[in-house]
Chain A
Amino acid sequence: MRSRILIIEDDQSVSGMVSDYLASEEFQTDVFDSGEAAVRAFSGRQDYALVLIDLMLPDMSGMDVLRYIRRSSTVPIIIITAKDNDTDKSLGLNLGADDYVVKPFSLIELTARIKANIRRTTRYDSHPGEDMIRIRDLEINVTKYTVRVSGREPDLTRTEFEILCLLASHPGQAFSKERLYELIWKEPYFGNENVLNTHINRLRAKLKAASGRDTVYIKTLWGIGYKMEEE
């Protein structure tokens, strides 16, 4: 099913363009140029996969729309801001936005952010209440802590699973060893390279054994970072 995106932007040249591009990326879009109409549309249907909203709207502030949507929904929200200062960004994020882009933004980047945000929150109807991440032939059940690769289930430790889950929910994004270590072990990295390497190597070996192929899922970047390969 094609994901439906709610776009709230008063400049029609921008909304039209974003909408065209997203259509070419197999998204459905509903475009509104005022907060009032968007809020009404949002209350009307429950199937939006994501909301993209410009903070500067003619009738009501984008912040108000954001607040309204957050009162009843956990749908991912990306804000668009034309301001250079950080106040808008942090205010938006504090009000519950998940991500932001600053004008002028790249459509390629925006699309990547949209996909990542949708992927992070997608719930599949067949298993209500279960978070799944699907990437290439990996199926990661975030709720049950299980992974299926080409139909088989490798037996991963908790840490290995968390590493895989983190990288898979941000495909293509580079993580430095420092950041990865801090996010998984929740403590600062002091060159604990062996610990990280060992876990990554074991994880790779288990995925390889399960898939029976030499597919590179996790790529090492110049020896200083890792990323999940997108395809």
Chain B
Amino acid sequence: MAVWLGSLSLVLLAVYVRERIINRNLNKEVLYIRERLAALTEASGTRENGYVLVPSGNVGVRELSAQLNHLLETFYRQKAEYQCARQAMEQMLTNISHDLRTPLTVLKGYSELLLKEGKRGTSLPEFRDMAKKIDRKADELVRTIDEYFTMSKIESGDWKLVMRRVNVTQLCHELILDYYDVLEEAQYEVAIQVDDMPVYAYSDEEAVKRILKNMIDNAVRHGGSGKYLGIRLKYLADGIRIEVEDHGAGITAKDEEQIFSRNYTTARKGTGSGLGLTIARNLARQMGADIEVYSEPGIRTVFTLIL
């Protein structure tokens, strides 16, 4: 009896030990699969395309990893296809932009020639109007192409920010001076509150220029009816605020949420790509800055770049 009980215990112990070992191995394999998947997820943005290889005795685990590998393979193939498609898109955009430049140069040039002839009084007034319209549309086309191109550059990560100490006082002065002739001719009231003392911001100069230019362009293009343009530089404890104010039609609360989204424009159809503010906010956020809008429609609208 004792012998019998003894051998039973031994057998049970052996079975127990064997099962423990199997269980431990299984645990190890599952843990390995988990860690491997975590590593592959981490590396999914890179070129590394790894698989899960588990030389397991367990049929279930083997099938599980086979399924996982199948899934990974599909994912990698699609990733590669996506990369290809994106590169092709970028290349196409570059080509389009390049191929449109030459005909646009000619279009723009001759519209200017027509306008010039018109000013000399050698053509009928209605022809002058037509020339003006062609010239404006040519400008718009140039701007639109430029915006699509910039947007794609930002989205593909080709726009590399160069963060430096930038004299934003001087930058504001020089940017607004670029508009001197346009604003004086259109008899704008221009209010500049940018103190002479230099204020520096750690930022990308090109990006800040681009953003402010977009804000001023918008104030003139969409808020031009108010014939007012204000630019203010405020140096506060929590940062630098550059405000551009117009007294035009303004932006309703409903539009306020949407003006920063792609291709949304409050202007009549066909007057702009609607990408300007998307680009501006995108660039601002990449620098760790932001853009705010405040509008009392018909009274005043203020766009603020917070650096």
Contacts and interface: CB of A to CB of B under 8 A. Distances in A.
Interface of A: 11, 13-14, 17-18, 20-21, 24, 82-84, 103-108, 174-179, 188-191, 193, 221-225, 227
B20 interface: no
A189 to B, nearest CB: 7
Contacts of A20: 113
Q: Which 5 A-B pairs have the closest CB atoms?
A: A191-B196, A104-B104, A104-B105, A174-B177, A178-B170
Interface stretch (B76-84, B94-102, B256-264): B94-102
A146 to B, nearest CB: 30
Contact of B197 (A18, A175, A176, A191): A191
B235 to A, nearest CB: 13
B168 to A, nearest CB: 11
B192 A24 contact: no
Contacts of B174: 176, 178-179, 225
B97 to A, nearest CB: 7
A48 to B, nearest CB: 22
A189 B195 CA distance: 12
A225 B104 contact: no
Nearest to A110: B109
Interface in B167-218: 167, 169-170, 173-174, 176-178, 180, 190, 192, 194-198
Instruction: Please report whether the interface of chain B is mostly helix, strand, loop or mixed according to DSSP.
Output: helix
Given A103-B102, A178-B169, A222 B108 contact: no
Contacts of A176: 170, 173-174, 177
Contacts of A103: 101-102, 104-105
Contacts of B105: 14, 17, 103-105
Contacts of B154: none
Contacts of A106: 108-109, 112
A223 B192 contact: yes
Given A103-B102, A222-B180, A191 B198 contact: yes
A177 B108 CA distance: 33
B8 interface: no
5 contacts: A17-B106, A174-B178, A176-B177, A179-B174, A224-B192
A77 B236 CA distance: 46
B127 interface: no
Contacts of A174: 177-178, 180
B104 A24 contact: no
Nearest to A111: B112
A124 B108 CA distance: 35
Contacts of B177: 174-176, 221-222, 224-225
